[in-house]
Structure 1
Amino acid sequence: MDPYSQKLIESFQRSTKERKLELLLEISRVRDEAVLQFLINTLGDEHWIVRKTAADYIFSSQEAALPWLSAALNSYNEDIQHWALQVLARMGSKGTPSILRSLKSANPDVRYFACMALGEIREPQGIPPLLKALSDEKWAVRKAASEALVKFGEEVIPMVEQLVTRSTDEDARFWAIKSLGKLGPKAQKILLEALRTGDKQLRYVIAAALGESGDRRVIKVLIDSLADPDWTIRKSAMQALSEIGENAMDLMIESLKDPNEDIRDGCLGAMVRCGDKAWTRLFAFVETVDDNQRFVIRKGLTKLGTRVVEPLVKLFKTGKAEILSFSAATLGEIGSPKAVPVLIEGLSNDDWNVRRSCAYALGEIGEKGVDKIAEALTSPNDDVRYWVTRILESVGEAGMTYLVKALSDKNKNIRFFAAKALGASNNPEVMRDLIHALADSSWSVRKAAFGSLCKLENLSIDQLLRNMSNDNEDIRFWVGKVIEEAGRSNLDSIHDCLRNGNPELRLCACQALGAIANPASTDILIDALRDENEWVRIYSAISLGSIGDIRAVIPLIKGLSDRNSEVHKNISLAFKKLGPRVFDTLEKSVESDDRVLRRNSAIALGEMREERGVDLLILLLEDPDDKVRQAAAEALGRFSGLKAQAVLVKGIHDQSYIVRAAALEAIGEHARPDGIAILTEHLGKTKDERELRVTRRQLAVMAQKIPLSFVELFKNESAAIRTIAAEALSGAGLAIIQILTEAMVGKDETTVFWCQKVIKKVRNPQEPISDA
């Protein structure tokens, strides 16, 4: 790398955002490996626009950048990983091999972004590894792989269907089914058929994915008595059976299949009084029956309430998946907070059905156990954190307080899940915390917070607008995205802020309406062109240009009466966005009875700088109103052709001083060599001191732009002309000295003499200029 580029790179980290962008442009012109390495590192810069610009320059390197991009995928910086994969995705088939290799990375973040990238480029060779990623150990990777497959469309349906029917991995089957559910009617028909004809386990997963010593004769009489209409008889029969105990166990268990609900409930009530041996027999029976029978038993146990919580908790120590699911569901329906710790433990079970059952159970316990449930947000297990955030979300507002606290957790995954879940809150105060999360160091957290803000029912437009000018770049960016996403449905609120807010809020409202770009906002933005605050007027012009409504043209033209130059500038930019319709309107406006509109039309024609506007300005130079003629003359200064200058020569003889002055300034603005003679001649004819000053000033302006044309006048026979030329050059300031010094080389004595006179005059303003 050359020393100059190395010096630029060394100064990069200490530079401002704007300076960094300038340095990137300069550094990227050098094509070597050191520059590519620098650009890769810049993908982790704190400023989004700097990261985006670096990515664009890397993309321009194409094949040369591929090895560096591949290496960047191993970075510990999430932004570098994200942007490297974005660039690879933009490269299409060239970047696909690197993206595919990154799916084998040990870093789950790299695998996550790789899945997203494959979904964007949709190369067929990406389908098999995406299918494999559905069984990834990380939930986020599995989800990203599923979403990527959906983007391929119907071509992946056969392969995903095969995974559903043949895979033994429950996570893979679950996400495959989730993918099919999003692939349209054809795929959904397959799922519906599987629900009708598939095996029990498949139907179970599909449902979750689319939407989760005594005498036998005496014992028999006692069991039948459990159905007696008399409550006291039923109670007594149950008491007797519990006392008989072990000898009654076989018949009680057999009676759990009885169609009579009272008999089933009575047997369960008796068994739970028989101690651990009865529970062991009951659980052994539960293992042998189908789901329907288990459901019936679970309902019976639920009626017994907290008495069965402790035995069910012990059940988790058996390690049998089916019994764990049964126990979790029962504990959830009982709703005792005492079950929370063991259910939390079940969220990390290897069996997906157990995890699902524990999650649903915790959701049923809900607010009663929310404190203990929230403690699991610190779990190192991804699945636990995922399910806990889903549970806290389902609990409602009682869980939102904990999710808000989780936004400050040191673990980015916890922050992500929390930000994602908070979108279900009805508490307006949550919005402040989600906006703060838009500045999170992790892109995934920022994206999740954005998604939740868009979902909030009680979205505070006032608070959202004020953050459009937040000091943090990421917050400004994502708030702008929220405005674009949710603003259309909140237009009335934004309009109200523009009508009644303070200057800062009105400014932000204008910005928001420009981002939304809905024609329904045209009228209120037109009103804002007359706002007392100059920044509101500026942004109303910008937003009207973004909306592109033809109704805004006349008000924008009238807005050129504003004395603020920034307002003028942005009205001109709005005209460019509005396109040829502006000129069509101006053609009509120059003949309007409204003199202000005619004057502003002249200003607009000058700002637009379209050559076809010269004829309209010539027409306005004949206007009876001297301010209209003045504006036309000033506008003609933007057109340096002969036609405009010829008309301006006529303008310097106008009856109005302000028109003559404007014409003189326009000729000076043209800075054409033939304009020197026009101003010089006028200097000799006019007697008006004001015009003399204006003419001399314009000659000095022209001398700054075309100094050599004035140097040529030193050869003129007229001493007066030579003096005028010298005075104009001396008025050009210190910069003219170098030009005159170079101009003297090889010139005649007269030219050298006058050049020296001017240099002396510039250095010493008291030095007289004469021909002697």
Structure 2
Amino acid sequence: MKPERCIFLLLLVSALLCAGCPAHKSDVERYITDLKSRSSITREMAAQKLSKMGDKALPALPALRIAVVSDKNKKVRRFAARALGNFKEKGAPAIDALCKALYEPESSLRKDAIKALASIGLATLPAMKKMLLQPHVIGRISATSVLGRLGKPALPLLKQALNDQVGRVRYGAIEALKRIGPPALPVVLDAMDDPHDNIRSYVGWVLSKLVVEGLKQQPALEKKTIATLKKALRNKEKKVRMYAVHTAAALGKRAKPLLDALIKALQDPRWFVRKGAAGALGELGKDARKAVPMLAKALHDGTWDVKKQAARALFKVGGPHVVRELLRWRRHPNKRVVAYVLQVIGWMKGRAKRAKRALVSALNSPHQEVRRAAAQSLVWIGTSALPSLLRALKHRKLHVRQAAAWGLGKWPKPNKSIAAALTKALEDKAPRVQYESAHALRRLAPASTAQVKAWKAMLSQSDAKARYKAIRALGSAGRIALDALPSLLSLLKSEDKKTRYLTMDALAWLADVLPVSARRVVVETLQDSDPVLRKKATLVLRWLGHGAWKVMPAIKASIKHGSRRLKRNLIDVLAEMGSYKDNTLSLMELSTENDKDLQLASIKALAKVGPRAVSKRSASKAFLKDVMDVFVRALGDSDKQVRVAGAKAIGEFGSNGAPAANALCKATKDPVALVRREAAASFGWVGEKAKGGLPCVRVLLKDKDRLVRRNAVFALSQLGKGGITPLLSALRGQDRLNKHNAAIALGRMVVTPQRDHEVMVALRTTLTEKRLPKRIKDAIEQAISLRDTDDKPGVFWVPHPRSPTRETFSPQSLHSR
């Protein structure tokens, strides 16, 4: 008998046998059966599946009721509770079973049962009422958790729970009230009479969170709230008093009836209560004027936070009498308190005009913190205080002039009178005044000739800070600073390191406007013994970019006679100069050094600047050949990194790299895989002009390295008509990586109509192969769709890999695995 007939008869017999079989049970019925299984794992899986089915598992309710109470596996009971919770109102018959689960010692099971009962809704209220009367403490605590999730209808029962003898039950009831939110405010107010200190503290915290929204919804409770807070402020428990003042602060001006109690709280033995009382008085604003003397006294408090809060409260209360009170503290022995008090006066702005004289006198303080606070406050007061600051800039005492200059630098808007006064202050005999004025001018006004002149004079100061400020100011001044350039350059020979470093930084900021003579000085600095200064000089020349060609003779001289470090820094400079013949020749010269690091760096730099240099009309074939010879020598070097750099550099030149094709062909046999990868990729970038490259690249399709094979496919797609045949062979071959990448490449190539038909046949034939991986199948289908379109993707051999005008097809377009 034929095999096909045997298979048909077997299928027919099995169908007839199954025809008399009863239908399979539904999933729910199967899970109900599994819940009765002896296997713990089977019961657990069934309960878990039912917990994810929602209302569809409703037929399993009786079985789940039994499981949640009696199953030995706690996970089964948890999943059963979750499943019952999914039924919501329909799960009411399971309330008794879930209530029994609330007595379980396992906390995770109780949590699931609580959530399930809460999801059932208000139908659970009678059961919760009974539970609150049960002797089991855990059950009563769990009942409060359920009631907290039921919302406002549960408030009477929670009020009843607040009278429980066990503190943990009362604590759970307060937590439930917090969950209910503002509607629970009247019950929370009643809970403030709890006999336990910790519970009263927690009630105070809950009250501070609910009071604002609660009074919005129930304004009639305001009197009761005030009365409760008055009582709480006299409570013996420190945390109750703390939360009471926080609640008063949250009430804002509605806490005015608590004014006397809050004033008394400023003398509380606990600092955090005093701090909160000061904050609450500040929220009362002008209504708290009665508290000004006590708030002023609080500035003498031993705790800094209380002083700070009292000063802020005085600012919020405002008024002339507040300024008078604050000014009394300007002679306080603690300079931090004085500085903060002066800042508070400044916050009052226009309301503090009477304090100008006192603030000016504070500029004479021996403490810098106080002087700066006074100057900042004068700035905050505004235009009316400007004459006072300008007069202080001419004061006979150094500290006053310095503080005034610092304060004028904080002026919010540019001002001509301030700029003129600060420019004049640059001629001050005191270096400190000079550098503060210089710093202020950098921020307030554009540089002027007078400022540059003053900064130039400051460069010869013995005071280091003044010198540093002048250097920075000149660096940011721009072209106008060139008048001081000789003095600035002379500082490069200073004994002070920081002076030399800042000078070089300033030259970097002025790089675009530096004359040729200054650029030569920077090149000479490259031979300095200080490595940091050499690095900064290199950065200046790199930022010059194309402008560095003006000092090319000096750079060439440094290359001939300089040290290894100097040459390494100059390679970076030459790489940033752009594509010129001179710097290309210098890099070619550096590539002949015996030092491998220099050789490697010069090859990489040459790959960066060379392509455009050889593409210019003025460039000759001999020049191109000389450049390529550098890379050919690199491919024969003993160091593998140099060989990799050489192979990669040839590809950067695109089709101009054709003279090095023979060397690239030898590089494809290199023992180092990385060299072979770059050689294959470079063949692709050179394209059809790489004569004799096809046989070398074709061999790489059998290379052990995946990335070499990937780059070989890329190269074949760029080598023109000759690359189609090996790509078709790769498509029909057994190597999955080559097959995948060949499909991508063939989809993108433009060929003659005759070859196009051959490519399409090969793609469709490969698509019919058995056990073809999905990734390869997708690539082939994409290639077929690309070749079927009228708008072909175009030829993907590109003259330069960074060409901005044409779409590129890089090796990264393919896959390595």
Q: Report TM bin, short chain.
A: 0.3 to 0.5
Q: TM-score, normalised by structure 1?
A: 0.37
Larger radius of gyration: 2
Q: TM-score, normalised by structure 2?
A: 0.36
